Amino acid sequence: MDKPQTLRRFLTRLTSRSVMSPIEQEAILGLSVSARKYRTNHDIVSPKTTVEHACLIAEGIAARYDQSARGQRQITALYLPGDMGDLHSVVSPKAAWGIVALMPVEVLEVPHRELMSIAMRHPTVGMAFWRDGTADASILAKWAANARRSARSRLAHLMCEIGLRSEMAKLGTRTAFHFPVSQHQLADIVGLTAVHVNRTLQALRSDGLIRSHQGTVFVDDLEGLRKVADFDDSYLLLGLAKGQ
């Protein structure tokens, strides 16, 4: 993945929710970044460390996770290519959580110094960063609210979300997207056991809702899946820039 393309992808994410002038857009595209690769299951950011750069995902999928004392791992956010998952680390660099590569991942490290400087020189961009963070927080709120749902509904909801986010990021469509995570990783995302994830996926499959093949998920019955998930996409804050 070349750096300009990834930066453009990040810019697209920002401008999908915020209006930015050409000069401001140039500032984003002019960020100096350094690429770095991580192997599957390796920490991109270790828990309780202080970082001096934010991580822009160039390729692969990364996850923010919270580790409990008993070794239980719960994933609290997923980062797709074009996401700068820890953009908020610019203002609070001491992370309470970790970020891990769910597969081979390439990230572009962007120095906090530069992001901070842009935000100070262009308050509008600072607001865009802030707004970007609210979108992540909104997803998180939905995940927290999913505590009450059944396993079936939770998995369906996740698939709806990743489909839409993939489509938004031009990585696939809402009915066919690349999501090559193991069932064990899925379990850490939705807060279930790998065994139960397996059985639940089988049920969804035999109901003709979703299918997967070599890491690509196919949604065969989107309406049905949305119904099971009780899915309402407004929490993703799509097209905020137009909305208001």
Nearer to DNA, 27 or 201 (CB): 201
Show the site string, 117-156: x = touches its own copies by CB under 8 A, - = not.
--xx--xx-xx-xxx-xxxxxx-xxxxxxxxxx-------
Distances (CA, A) of 153 to 26, 146, 164, 166, 215: 42, 9, 17, 20, 21
The burial class, CB within 10 Å (0-12 / 13-18 / 19+), for 19 is middle
226 forms part of the interface with its own copies (CB under 8 A) = no
Query: 29 and 96 in contact (C-beta within 8 Å)?
Result: no
Closest CA to 219 of 139, 147, 155, 149: 155
- What are the tokens at 124? 């509008």
Nearer to DNA, 17 or 154 (CB): 154
Two tokens at 23?
A: 């000069």
From the list its own copies, DNA, none, which binds 173 (C-beta under 5 to 8 Å, kind-based)?
none
Minimum CB–partner distance for residue 214 and its own copies (Å): 29
Contact in structure between 169 and 82 (CB atoms under 8 Å): yes
Site residues for its own copies, 14-73, by CB under 8 A, read 17, 48, 50, 64, 66, 68-70, 72
Using CB under 8 A as the binding rule, whether residue 93 contacts its own copies is answered as yes
Which of its own copies, DNA, none does residue 2 bind (CB under 5 to 8 Å by kind)? none
- The entry of DNA, its own copies, none near residue 183 (CB within 5 to 8 angstroms by kind) is DNA
CB of 199 to DNA, least distance (A): 6
